Amino acid sequence: MDIKGKDPSAAELNWRNKPRRQFTAAERMAMVKECLAPGASVAEVAQRNRVNANMLFNWKRRHERGQLPAPATSSTALVPVRVVKGKRKPAKRARVGRAQAKPAGAIELEIAGARIFLHGAVSEANLAVVLRALMRR
């Protein structure tokens, strides 16, 4: 029966004893952008960042499909807004005994290559959800 003590330095080198590294969304996006540069090699970027090349290919593919989470920003993104004066139709007078018409409005947004037309009353909460989704594209 062999009663040898284990070498403590061998246990330190074993990858199974270490917790998995976790990368933030910003780190992932930075590595993916390096890969997207002209003439860049995914394998070289992976070696430089000590990441498995298959994992980096996966992040790149998810980014191309729009599935890679965008990095969290500490500041609120501002969207440029342009106010355009247009011809307004005169409001119709409501007759007595009929329901009052709701005031109509129109908003046109162009964000990330998408154009949105909003007519009538718009819920601020719903508009915020749509804008956040478009800014992630």
Give me the residue spans of the domains in the chain.
21-72, 106-135
What tokens does 24 get?
């933030």
Average pLDDT of the residues in 105-116? 70
In what helix (H) or strand (E) does residue 115 lie, and over which residues does it extend? strand 114-119
Between the two ends of the chain, the Cα-to-Cα distance in Å is 64
Q: Is 116 left (phi over 0), alpha (psi -120 to 50) or beta?
A: beta
- In the structure, what pLDDT confidence band is assigned to residue 17 with cuts at 50, 70 and 90? confident
Apex CA 81: angle with CA 105 and CA 128, to 5°? Answer: 70
**What mean pLDDT is reported for the chain?**
75
Which pTM was predicted? 0.43
Cβ-count burial of 78 within 10 angstroms (0-12 exposed, 13-18 middle, 19+ buried)? exposed
- In the structure, what pLDDT confidence band is assigned to residue 21 with cuts at 50, 70 and 90? confident
Q: What is the C-alpha to C-alpha distance for residues 52 and 46, in angstroms, rounded to an integer?
A: 6
In what helix (H) or strand (E) does residue 124 lie, and over which residues does it extend? helix 124-135
